[in-house]
């Protein structure tokens, strides 16, 4: 679940450090583009490429520090990616005219070279906690991990805060590691993603949290709100401790919305909720996602939903894939069960396009997500233009001959849906979906 704001609110622009690829003679990029890098042991980190030689690469971590390592320590795909940047074609693209916003930047892995990760482990560095402010009397304690800033209503021990941050940072690492090509960066105007942690559900609801929810990401003010019980915190004496038996599934779902914030405007609701359900269903424990166990995660999820009385069905595929926000909200707000049906149908559709469709590598879905990435970059470019004037209350003005990208909820989310259809009718995709699910032992009803 996420709540959408009524206006885009870019209070200021963050300019990242430039990437210098001098060794390859490439022009400096305006922003450092972070991407997942995998070593020969399967470990994954988020970093931006600074420079490279025939033997070494220098990577910039998300904390700003640079590290040099042997090129041979990277996996074969990443070695090929680095070497590919030295080709004349890559150099001419970087030095020539500015490419269209839908074209991959020099630091984006080409679609054909992207792979689905196996184990995604949160980097130890990312969950080191910095205490910014502790004022229990004012119910304001501020802590930071690498990518998140947490405002808590009570003082938390560093070890406890570290455990809370682990799920946040691990989810961010996972989303960035998937071949969807999502660039995880905080919303414009923020150095880190923002989270507010409330001692009680009463406090949470008073701050705007929906009564029937365990946590919510509100895209209007870019804040993730969650009560202590939903993140596994319990009071032992006068100190809060982490419940070791806590299941952070709901948390993972909402954090996925948060780190994909820039994409939400340009995605159909079924993709927004289906991708969040997808990350939630992956086996997870103590900062480690078993991304290679996605089929087991799906079948476990299906089994759980069947126990709750849900049918394995999508129904009318065209109706679901083209459902606008107003229709979705009208159905979801009827009952919790109706909402559950929409979520279940969405993850079944997302899983099909990621793992069962066409080449079974998710190529059509990845192309779709890359086109959406292009829309997010077009919007960022628009707001950086000096012709755009930023006004109070998150409003903005612009010349009539320089309009912003389409952000209308009726049209923007469906602009690139044709990449998923790829010339096929909805009935044809429904037949392919039925057959593909049958091949993995799942009987699904879709038409």
The helix/strand/coil state of 33 is coil
Q: Give, in order, the Cα–Cα distances in Å from 48 to each of 37, 362, 428, 442.
A: 9, 25, 41, 40
Ordered domains of the chain (ranges, CATH):
22-116 (2.30.30.700), 270-447 (no CATH)
C-alpha atoms less than 13 angstroms from C-alpha of 158 in its C-beta half-sphere: 8
Residues β-bridged to residue 45: 37
The helix/strand/coil state of 285 is strand
Sheet with 66-70: list strands edge to edge: 35-38, 44-52, 56-61, 66-70
pLDDT value at position 132? 96
Q: Which residues, at least 6 apart from 414, have a Cβ–Cβ distance to it below 8 Å?
A: 268, 322
Report which secondary-structure segment, H or E, holds 330: helix 325-332
Report which secondary-structure segment, H or E, holds 313: strand 313-315
The tokens for 438 are: 């049958």
Q: Give, in order, the Cα–Cα distances in Å from 390 to each of 386, 387, 398, 399.
A: 10, 10, 9, 13
For residue 305, which phi and psi values (nearest 5 degrees)? Answer: -65, -35
Q: Which residues, at least 6 apart from 20, have a Cβ–Cβ distance to it below 8 Å?
A: 28, 50, 51
Residues β-bridged to residue 315: 446
E strands within 136-279?
140-144, 148-152, 193-198, 216-218, 223-227, 233-236, 239-242
**What is the C-alpha separation between 437 and 433, in angstroms, rounded?**
6
For residue 426, which phi and psi values (nearest 5 degrees)? Answer: -65, -35
pLDDT value at position 84? 62
The burial of 52, by beta-carbon neighbours within 10 Å (0-12 exposed, 13-18 middle, 19 or more buried), is given as buried
Residues β-bridged to residue 3: 218
The helix/strand/coil state of 377 is helix
**What is the C-alpha separation between 440 and 295, in angstroms, rounded?**
9
Q: Which residues, at least 6 apart from 58, have a Cβ–Cβ distance to it below 8 Å?
A: 49, 50, 51, 52, 66, 67, 68
Q: Which residues, at least 6 apart from 150, have a Cβ–Cβ distance to it below 8 Å?
A: 142, 143, 144, 161, 164, 165, 195, 196, 197
Q: Which residues, at least 6 apart from 138, have a Cβ–Cβ distance to it below 8 Å?
A: none
The tokens for 321 are: 């894939």
Residues β-bridged to residue 135: 140
The burial of 13, by beta-carbon neighbours within 10 Å (0-12 exposed, 13-18 middle, 19 or more buried), is given as exposed
Residue 47 is given by DSSP the state: E
pTM: 0.75
Residue spans of the chain under pLDDT 50: 3-32, 86-106
The tokens for 396 are: 């903005």
The burial of 336, by beta-carbon neighbours within 10 Å (0-12 exposed, 13-18 middle, 19 or more buried), is given as exposed
The tokens for 190 are: 């923020």
Question: How many other β-carbons are positioned within 10 Å of the β-carbon of residue 107?
Answer: 18
Question: How many other β-carbons are positioned within 10 Å of the β-carbon of residue 33?
Answer: 17
Burial 405-444 (b: 16+ CB within 10 A, else e): beeeeeebbbebeebbeeebebeebbebbbebbeeeebeb
**What is the C-alpha separation between 418 and 414, in angstroms, rounded?**
8
**Whether 353 contacts 364, CB under 8 Å:** yes
């Amino acid at each position: 679940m996420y709540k959408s704001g009524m206006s885009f609110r870019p209070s200021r622009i963050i300019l990242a450090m430039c990437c210098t690829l001098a060794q390859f003679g490439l022009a400096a990029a305006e922003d450092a583009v972070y991407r997942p890098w995998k070593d020969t042991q399967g470990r994954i980190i988020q970093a931006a490429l600074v420079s490279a030689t025939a033997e070494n690469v220098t990577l910039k971590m998300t904390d700003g520090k640079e590290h040099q390592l042997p090129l041979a320590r990277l996996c074969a795909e990443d070695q090929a990616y680095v070497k590919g940047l030295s080709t004349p074609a890559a150099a001419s693209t970087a030095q020539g005219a500015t490419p269209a916003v839908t074209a991959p930047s020099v630091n984006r892995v080409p679609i054909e070279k992207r792979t689905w990760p196996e184990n995604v482990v949160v980097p130890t560095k990312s969950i080191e906690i910095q205490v910014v402010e502790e004022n229990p009397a004012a119910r304001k304690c501020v802590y930071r991990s690498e990518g998140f800033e947490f405002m808590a209503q009570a003082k938390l021990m560093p070890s406890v805060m570290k455990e809370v941050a682990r799920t946040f940072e691990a989810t961010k690492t996972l989303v960035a590691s998937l071949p969807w090509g999502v660039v995880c960066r905080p919303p414009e105007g923020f150095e880190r993603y923002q989270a507010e942690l409330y001692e009680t559900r009463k406090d949470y609801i008073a701050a705007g949290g929906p009564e029937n929810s365990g946590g919510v990401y509100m895209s209007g003010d870019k804040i993730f709100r969650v009560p202590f019980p939903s993140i596994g915190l319990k009071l032992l004496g006068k100190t809060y401790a982490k419940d070791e038996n806590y299941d952070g599934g709901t948390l993972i779902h909402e954090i996925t919305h948060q780190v994909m914030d820039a994409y939400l405007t340009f995605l159909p609701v079924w993709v927004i909720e289906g991708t969040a359900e997808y990350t939630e269903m992956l086996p997870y424990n103590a900062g480690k996602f078993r991304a290679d166990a996605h089929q087991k995660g799906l079948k476990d999820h299906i089994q759980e939903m069947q126990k709750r009385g849900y049918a394995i069905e999508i129904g009318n595929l065209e109706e679901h894939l083209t459902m606008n926000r107003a229709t979705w909200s009208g159905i979801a707000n009827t009952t919790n069960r109706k909402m559950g049906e929409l979520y279940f149908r969405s993850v079944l559709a997302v899983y099909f396009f990621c793992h069962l469709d066409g080449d079974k590598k998710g190529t059509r879905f990845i192309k779709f997500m890359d086109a959406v990435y292009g829309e997010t970059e077009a919007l960022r470019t628009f707001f950086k233009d000096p012709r755009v004037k930023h006004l109070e209350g998150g409003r903005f003005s612009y010349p009539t001959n320089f309009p912003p990208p389409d952000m209308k909820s009726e049209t923007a989310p469906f602009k690139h849906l044709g990449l998923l259809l790829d010339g096929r009718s909805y009935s044809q995709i429904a037949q392919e979906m039925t057959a593909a699910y049958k091949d993995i032992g799942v009987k699904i009803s879709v038409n």
